Amino acid sequence: MYYIKPTDPHPITPAKAVMLGALCLAWLMTGLIGHDPWKPEDAYSFGVIYSMLQSGDYLVPTLAGETFMTNPPLYYWTGTLFAKLLSPLLPLHDAARLASGLYSALTLLFLGLTGRKLYGENRGWAAAITLIGCLGMLARAHQMITDLPLLAGIAMMLYGFSHSQERQLRAGVWMGIGVGIGFMSKGFISPVLFLLIAALLPALFHNWRLRSYTYSIAIALLCALPWLTLWPYLLHEHSAKLFSDWAWSNNVGNWLKFIREGPNKDAWYYLKNLPWLAWPALPLAAWAVWRERKRLGQRDDLQLPLVSFFVMLIILSLVPNIKEVYALPMLLPIALLATSSLSMLKRGAANALDWFGLMTFALLAIALWWGWAGLLLDNHAKITLWLKDYQPGFEPVFQTTPVIIAVIATLLWLALVWRVGRSMRRAIVNWASGITLIWILAMTLWLPWLDSGKSYRSMVVSLKSAIPENANCIARNRSLGDGQRAMLYYFGNITTQRDRERVCELRLIQGDKLSRPLMDESRYEKIWEGSRKGDKNEHYRLYREIKK
């Protein structure tokens, strides 16, 4: 290595370490429990977990009685384990969602270890805090999604790469485990990213053309091999058709078909959305690269995250499904690059970011407290009327424990921003603490209001009461999604059949409230109609065949 890391003149004291650890813990744990599964990913992921709990089949993921071969089952296994261990204390869905907290914690841990290895002993905390501050991480890190173990696996992979020039065994083991966890979470994307990063680093930069690096990659491949082969082999032995559905129809074949058709307008999706998903880390990362552009050939601590980012950007832009949640892996190298900028950014820019964060989160916190008080007191303000109209039927109730938590979080945030001195460190910490405060207020004061409109519980209970006891089965139309099927099964033990797959006496139709009835009323009579509270996009009708 040719670049010598600068010594940090401001080491982390034990008191600061405790404060930063508490901040990470508060960010991690808030929002994991206390609400029903919300659509789409939270709902259908829990649906697979609930199906595993009900059936006891851990090899083949299923959802409400039908195979669900989109992803390998690592996350579902973890959620099932948490649900079994903690369900006496927590509802099944809350216990299962703690799996997301585990994988998010692993991501922060290994990203912090990577930051410390690349940029010095006191920079690990900065990498983790920077990732916490990214807007794209906030909600996603607390949902039941298979992208979180992928994220943890990539963080382990980057940690292994950071040691690959010096400590071959450690590097290879963690890279292999990371690739394996990623594969068992989302399939082939993790091995593809690993192979391209591993090949491009020595191809582009001579710093990585070392025998020790080659040994590290070889060890990684050996350590990844069990992860890459065991479950696919067992699945193939169980059913060659299911294996083909997973490996080809839902993965490789789908990907190749998309590539043959050529890029479309969605290929630019991440470039257009990364500025807010990765805010405020992205401008800091860009500044670090620009500042050191003439020394990139020497800065292997910048080469690793830079190559990783571009590999992820290109590969993820070429997959068939492009969504903002799939951008999460790119936040890891961006956060590392942003960490490297801490010693480069001028005080004026740091103060500007600091004041912007303080004013933004202070105003948001005031708005959340004021809006909550307006709902509770029914002050008839315009915003209160709009909030009540948005969630019709919601009746706010003063809940002591959430309010106490919200008050304590607000006071601690005020104490933190008042006492920490001006610096780039302050800007990063204040931004992360501000976004954590807003999340705590949303998941305490506003959680009942949010859950009232996002939960399917009351709608499914109403539907269940309208289903005749002697009905043979319920058919569904194509609009009924995986998340809705999962909640029908969880809250009402209701399973549906694909339309025309069986001759069913009942048919459940999903549409919008203003659409015309979709069933032939000469053959079917409507026996139930409903939706979630305030949801104008999803409306459901249950029809029964008229017996002649």
- Give the model confidence (pLDDT) of 465-475 as tens digits: 999 988 889 99
Tell which residue, 405, 423, 366, 353, has the closest CA to residue 133.
353
Give residue for tokens 């500025």: 275
d(CA 76, CA 43): 12
Sign of the four-CA dihedral 284, 285, 290, 295: positive
Rounded-to-integer distance, Cα 424 and Cα 436, Å? 19
- Tens-digit pLDDT profile for residues 196-232: 999 999 999 999 999 999 999 999 999 999 999 999 9
540 and 530 in contact (C-beta within 8 Å)? yes
Distance CA 201, CA 300 (A): 9
pLDDT band with cut points at 50, 70 and 90 for residue 336: very high
CA torsion sign for 121, 127, 132, 133 is: positive
As a residue count, the chain comes to: 548
Cα distances from 5 to residues 117, 131, 288, in angstroms, run: 10, 22, 14
- Tell me the DSSP string of 471-527: ---EEE-TT--HHHHHHHHHHH----EETTTS--SEEEEEE-TTSPP-S-TTTEEEE
Mean pLDDT of 341-366: 87
Per-residue pLDDT at 388? 85
Rounded Cα gap, residues 333 and 314, in angstroms: 14
Other beta carbons within 10 Å of 521? 10
The predicted structure's pLDDT at residue 263: 62
With a cut of 80, say whether residue 303 has pLDDT above it: yes
Mean pLDDT of 32-42: 92
The average confidence (pLDDT) of the chain is 90
Q: Is 423 helix (H, G, I), strand (E, B) or coil?
A: coil
What Cα–Cα distance (Å) separates residue 44 from each residue in 39, 61, 62, 144?
Answer: 7, 11, 10, 9
User: What CA–CA distance (Å, rounded) separates 375 from 404?
Assistant: 18
pTM of the model: 0.93
Name the helix (H) or strand (E) containing 541. Answer: strand 539-545
- Cα distances (angstroms) measured from residue 329 to each of 135, 285, 487: 14, 15, 29
The predicted model gives 271-294 an average pLDDT of 93
What secondary structure does DSSP assign to 134-149, as a single string?
Answer: -GGGTTGGGS--THHH
CA–CA separation, 217 vs 175, rounded Å?
8
Residue 82 has pLDDT above 90, yes or no: yes
What is the distance between the alpha carbons of residues 215 and 66, in angstroms, rounded to a whole number? Answer: 44
Distances (CA, A) of 242 to 66, 234, 385, 447, 483: 12, 11, 51, 40, 21
Best CA proximity match to 159, nearest among 177, 137, 144, 141 = 177
88 vs 111: CA distance, rounded Å: 33
Report the DSSP beta bridge partners of residue 544: 506, 525
Confidence tier at 1 by pLDDT (50, 70, 90): very low
Q: For residue 376, is pLDDT > 60? A: yes
What is residue 425's predicted lDDT score, i.e. its pLDDT?
Answer: 75
pLDDT of residue 337: 96
Percent of the chain whose pLDDT exceeds 90 = 68
Residue 166: exposed, middle, or buried by beta-carbon count in 10 A (0-12, 13-18, 19+)? middle
- What are 45-77's pLDDT values in tens digits? 999 999 999 999 999 999 999 999 999 999 999
pLDDT digits (tens, 9 = 90+) for 380-417: 888 888 888 888 878 889 999 999 999 999 999 998 88
Summarised one tens digit per residue, pLDDT across range 127-176 is: 999 999 999 999 999 999 999 999 999 999 999 999 999 899 999 999 99
H or E element, residue 213 = helix 211-238
